[in-house]
Amino acid sequence: MKKGFNNKKYLDMQSSHIQERIAQFDDKLYLEFGGKLFDDYHASRVLPGFAPDSKLQMLMTMKEQAEIVIVICAKDIDNNKIRGDLNITYDEDVLRLIKEFTSRDLYVSSVVITQYHHSKAIDRFKAKLKRRNIKVYHHYYIEGYPTNAKAIISEQGFGKNDFIETSRPLVVVTAPGPGSGKMATCLSQLYHENIRGVKAGYAKYETFPIWNLDLNHPVNLAYEAATADLADVNMIDPFHYQAYGKVTVNYNRDVEIFPVLKNIFEEIFGCCPYQSPTDMGVNMAGFAIEDDSICCQASQQEIIRRYFESYTRYVNEQCSMDEVNKQTIIMEKAGISIEDRKCLVAARNKAKKTHSFSGAIELADGTLITGKTTNFMGAVSNTLINALKYLAQLPDNENVIAPQAFGPIQDLKTKYLGSLNPRLHIQEVLIALSLSAVHNSDAKKALDVIPQLKGCQAHFTCLLKAEDLSILTQLGLEVTYEADKR
């Protein structure tokens, strides 16, 4: 995969910039972490070369200075709110995050339950944290938040929240998902620190939108496509332009909330340390882009992929047509259409020619490999095997899977598991290939080139089952498919 982003340069610049921001205040900075700390595959797709765990790597360089506070909203515990990408509840994700951080020797000092109220579910969650020796603090609902600054900055506002005991100069505030109360937690701490004579600082670490790229740069448009379900919109930061005469990009929620934040800062400190929402950010990703054309191409493919993702949600009655229409508008802004996805065109042409569900994979060298539904394999499996044979430099007519490996799996499916479809799906094909590789050197060659699929684009003219999509994702393929073709 061609790289357009220098991850090492990014980590060095990011760590240095955060150190500067800590020094700007009384050696105490509350850093709100937006987006994903682990598995940030959106960033790695639109910025080829960006490591999915870059934020975590950056924290590791500062682990002696940093501690982590995890925030979760009480109603999300009571309602068993699900994190969609992992299919686990928010409270389960907090426990997962604690385990992930501590396994890397990062210090998790506490968990804050925001908008706290008593319930059995919350008590059970607190008991789990106690067993892990994690301190728990309560923050409460504040009438008038976030607009009534004077009420918020009072004993009956932030004053009734627990003060979170922290011991390190960098306090990273993160959460399992949006709406958990990260910003309110940071601001509450500034209020309490100020009472104790410490002029602590606040900053926000969001990768997207990238503030020093154009508003309609494909990387920023890809972020807008990724958040279509949240109705986020990228926009010029008017406060930054007014203060400095420079055009920077932010997004609507931060721009809308900035006047409120400015009032809160003024109530706490007497003045606001920032002139704009862009000032509050510490993101340096834009400075680590080394090949803009590669990042643009990758982002354009991501925009098309997000269109198909929204269309799938629409087909499954998980969103309205408005979300799909928004994705269409974003494609128009980027000057692209779905036909700019080469693997889509190839897959549809194959389907038209063979009158069957088909697929295509665009390999790293630009080669397009197609496949179709056969008596033994579905379109996805056939396309995958054809791609592996090409990468392993094997003839098209080579049977890398032994017939005796097909039969037992088909019998198991039809005779014992009640399936009417004897064709092998991806996981079954990969198992059959692995078995064949024991005695077949060509099968072993096909198996060994699987890592070369990472970062390749793929499209299929049929609906993908969840288990097939999961395997393709694990292989590192960036996939689109047609959800209304069953």
User: pLDDT tens for residues 247-277?
Assistant: 999 999 899 989 988 999 999 989 999 999 9
Bridging pattern class, strands 29-33 and 368-372: unpaired
Least trusted range by pLDDT, from 2-11, 107-116, 400-409, 469-478: 400-409
Across the beta sheet with 108-114, the strand order is 135-138, 108-114, 66-73, 170-174, 29-33, 201-205
* Model confidence band, residue 406 (pLDDT cutoffs 50, 70, 90): confident
In the chain, which segments carry CATH 3.40.140.40?
341-481
Is residue 68 within 8 A of residue 208, CB to CB? The reply is: no
Instruction: Give me the pLDDT at residue 36, please.
Output: 78
Paired tokens of 321: 């047509």
Instruction: Give me the pLDDT at residue 229, please.
Output: 86
* Model confidence band, residue 171 (pLDDT cutoffs 50, 70, 90): very high
* pLDDT higher than 90, residue 352: yes
Instruction: Give me the pLDDT at residue 237, please.
Output: 97
Longest pairwise C-alpha distance within the chain: 78
Paired tokens of 180: 């958990």
* pLDDT higher than 80, residue 219: yes
Is residue 388 within 8 A of residue 449, CB to CB? The reply is: yes
29-43, 137-151, 325-339 — most confident range = 325-339
End-to-end CA distance of the chain: 32
* pLDDT higher than 80, residue 414: no
* pLDDT higher than 90, residue 38: no
Instruction: Give me the pLDDT at residue 350, please.
Output: 98
Give the pLDDT mean for 96-121. 96
* pLDDT higher than 90, residue 94: yes
* pLDDT higher than 80, residue 85: no
Instruction: Give me the pLDDT at residue 345, please.
Output: 98
- DSSP annotation of 163 reads P
Bridging pattern class, strands 29-33 and 201-205: parallel
Least trusted range by pLDDT, from 72-76, 177-181, 240-244: 177-181
Give the pLDDT mean for 133-141. 97
Instruction: Give me the pLDDT at residue 454, please.
Output: 93
The contacts of residue 205 (CB under 8 Å, 6+ apart) are: 18, 31, 32, 33, 34, 55, 281, 282, 283
Give the pLDDT mean for 79-91. 86
Instruction: Give me the pLDDT at residue 399, please.
Output: 86
- DSSP annotation of 424 reads B
Is residue 215 within 8 A of residue 235, CB to CB? The reply is: yes
In the chain, which segments carry CATH 3.10.630.10?
7-288
* pLDDT higher than 90, residue 218: yes
* Model confidence band, residue 230 (pLDDT cutoffs 50, 70, 90): confident
The burial of 236, by beta-carbon neighbours within 10 Å (0-12 exposed, 13-18 middle, 19 or more buried), is given as middle
Architecture of domain 7-288: Roll (3.10)
Give the pLDDT mean for 274-294. 96
Chain mean pLDDT for the chain: 93
Architecture of domain 341-481: 3-Layer(aba) Sandwich (3.40)
Mutual angle of helices 441-448 and 379-391, in 10-degree steps = 100
* Model confidence band, residue 34 (pLDDT cutoffs 50, 70, 90): confident
